[in-house]
Amino acid sequence: MSGVTLTIDGKSVAAEKGQTLLKAAEGAGIYIPRLCAYKDLLPHGSCRVCSVRVNGRIQAACVQTVTDGAIVENETAELQEYRRNIIDLLFVEGNHFCMYCEKSGHCELQALAYRFGITAPRYQLLYPKRDIDMSHPDVYLDHNRCILCGRCVRASQDLDHKNVFQFIERGCRKRLQVNGEALAATDLQVTDEAVASCPVGALMRKRVGYSVPVGERPYDNIPIGRDIETAGEE
């Protein structure tokens, strides 16, 4: 298998041809923040949290493949500010009240906010009026917290081989819709990867709330991405 060598923040990184920048960085113990990328799902390139500069141009690291000799910037003040702004906007665009959310401490949006030092909204909160679908016996969908990352859409399609979720409308009217009158009318099961894939408290399992106490949850103590960074230190 032919390899390529590139530089990320001054560190020489060996990668496989065809690999995405996100995966190549991960292999070298470099964390590039992300939200819409999930496991081995085909990348979507929609959230832009993974933006890096490649030879001076901004690219989404989850979709951009490696090229030999590329100079990649990741942890610069400019890119951190760019990503921080995206996270800031996601917070004000929905209704994210972390202190009342069962996903707190497991939530990737909240964890990224911690990582970027966000403590209060920078923009005006929009307080949109959105529905909660409680119809399913084991899962609920809270549109207030949906960040439209599309992970559930792709996981349902590509991993669960169902088509429970889809997006409708565009721009600020874009929203998630289920393939039926409500969640209960779909073939969604609590064990579906689509449910596990949600990075925030939008798609949640019922009856397991607070089984892990606040303070003992993954991101309560360890910053998001630290697992990748420490793997690279070994």
- Selected range binding ligand FES among 34-42, 96-104, 151-159, 172-180, rule: CB under 6 A: 34-42
Residues 175-214 interacting with ligand SF4 (rule: CB under 6 A): 176, 197-198, 200, 202-203
User: Taking Cα atoms as reference points, which of 224, 164, 229 lies closest to residue 199?
Assistant: 224
* Sheet with strand 3-8: strands edge to edge: 11-16, 3-8, 71-73, 51-54, 57-60
3-state secondary structure of 125: coil
Cβ of residue 33: shortest distance to ligand SF4, in angstroms? 16
**Do β-strands 57-60 and 71-73 pair in parallel, antiparallel, or remain unpaired?**
unpaired
Cβ of residue 148: shortest distance to ligand FES, in angstroms? 11
Q: Which one of 6, 24, 62, 87 is in contact with ligand FES (CB under 6 A)? A: 62
3-state secondary structure of 4: strand
139 strand-pairing partners: 205
DSSP element (H, E) containing 177 = strand 175-178
Query: Do 201 and 107 form a contact (C-beta atoms < 8 A)?
Result: yes
- Selected range binding ligand SF4 among 21-29, 44-52, 144-152, 207-215, rule: CB under 6 A: 144-152
When the beta carbons of 6 and 49 are compared against ligand FES, the nearer one is 49
Q: Would you give the DSSP letter of residue 107?
A: -
Please state the φ and ψ torsions of residue 117, each to the nearest 5 degrees.
70, 25
36 binding ligand FES? (CB under 6 A): yes
109 binding ligand FES? (CB under 6 A): no
User: Taking Cα atoms as reference points, which of 89, 192, 232, 204 lies closest to residue 143?
Assistant: 204
Q: What are 44's two structure tokens?
A: 């979507």
35 binding ligand FES? (CB under 6 A): yes
Q: Which one of 151, 164, 186, 224 is in contact with ligand SF4 (CB under 6 A)? A: 151
Residue 138 CA, chain-centre distance (Å), reads: 23
Q: Which one of ligand FES, ligand SF4, none is in contact with 47 (Cβ closer than 5 to 8 A by kind)?
A: ligand FES
Q: Which one of ligand SF4, ligand FES, none is in contact with 62 (Cβ closer than 5 to 8 A by kind)?
A: ligand FES
30 binding ligand SF4? (CB under 6 A): no
Cβ of residue 43: shortest distance to ligand FES, in angstroms? 6
147 binding ligand SF4? (CB under 6 A): yes
Cβ of residue 163: shortest distance to ligand FES, in angstroms? 22
Which residues would be at the binding site for ligand SF4 (CB under 6 A)? 146-152, 176, 197-198, 200, 202-203
